[in-house]
Amino acid sequence: MGRKNPDEWSRPYRLSIMDDSTHVRIRSYRFTKTIAVIIAVTAVVTVSILFWCLLALTPLRTTIPGYPDANSKREAVVNAIKIDSLESSITRWELYAENLSRVLDGKETLELDSIIKGNSTRYLQAKSMEALQKQDSIMRETVRAEEQFGVSGEGERRLPITGMHFFPPIKGVVSQGFDKILHPGLDLTAPANSVVYAVLDGTVIFAGWSEETGYTMLIQHDADIISTYSHNQKLLLKPGDKVTAGTPVAIVGNTGSTSYGDHLHFELWYKGEAQDPAKYISF
């Protein structure tokens, strides 16, 4: 005799599809509960995967509440680039100020191009704020004492900046004016391959590459004057070279991430403050 209670999960079932009017069997399916559960689970998993692919790989994903759309992502990328540019600018100005301080203090200048490329400011972190302030105070007192007793420059007569004769760095048209905060210099457009000249006698304290300003040169002059020449195609001198007013120092170019077209970005610094070159030089 067979078992009176066969296993419910293995009991066979039949699903028939019949024509309602003729009662003719069109199709018939045999299955068990186990097979039915397997088919149902497979169908749910397949539909779930298809639904996930539809949302993850098509523009429909932007309909999900809180999901960033293309504009949000674009703005995030733009903001990230701006933040990176601001950090680079801050680092560059910190390095620039440190180099000026070292020059005025009679110390050896830093290799700014290698530090900027490495994006490192460890030399600034090596000094505490108190030490930097103390060093600045000592330097100011030394300069003040030298000016008071006339011992600076071995008795050399120091003229104010307004009494000096500057050689024009280049003959060109001013394309962007001076702003002490946003643009501490002048942009002078000139034909490609034009020669850039030193504005005063002095010594080259920096000649190298910067990501933003391209090939850049800094020249230290008497009376605490520093001139800078940026976005050059080629530099003709190296750090330590002596120059006289009118000496060729570079070739006009279009280098650096902030340059648009052949031009010279020229800055004039007097006692650590940016000056408007147009007040002293006729371009």
Burial label, 8 (beta-carbon count in 10 A; 0-12, 13-18, 19+): exposed
Question: Which residues make beta-bridge pairs with 250?
Answer: 196, 235
Token pair in block for residue 1: 């005799």
Phi-psi label, residue 250: left if phi above 0, alpha if psi -120 to 50, beta otherwise: beta
Q: How far apart are CA 251 and CA 57, in angstroms?
A: 52
Q: How far apart are CA 252 and CA 170, in angstroms?
A: 9
Q: Give the mean pLDDT of 197-226.
A: 93
Question: Which residues make beta-bridge pairs with 183?
Answer: 179
Q: Give the mean pLDDT of 51-73.
A: 69
- Class level of CATH domain 163-279: mainly beta
Q: Is-contact 262 254, C-beta < 8 A?
A: yes
Looking at residue 133, its pLDDT comes to 66
Where along the chain do its domains lie?
A: 8-56, 71-155, 163-279
Looking at residue 5, its pLDDT comes to 52
Which residue in 218, 221, 186, 216 sits closest to 200, CA to CA?
221
Which is more confident, 225 or 19? 225
Residue 11's alpha-carbon distances to 30, 37, 56, 75, in angstroms, are 10, 13, 42, 62
Model pTM?
0.47
SS3 69: coil
Condensed to tens digits (0 to 9), the pLDDT of residues 108-161 reads 766 555 554 554 444 444 555 666 666 667 766 766 665 554 444 444 444 578
Q: Give the mean pLDDT of 69-73.
A: 63
DSSP-derived letter for residue 168 is P
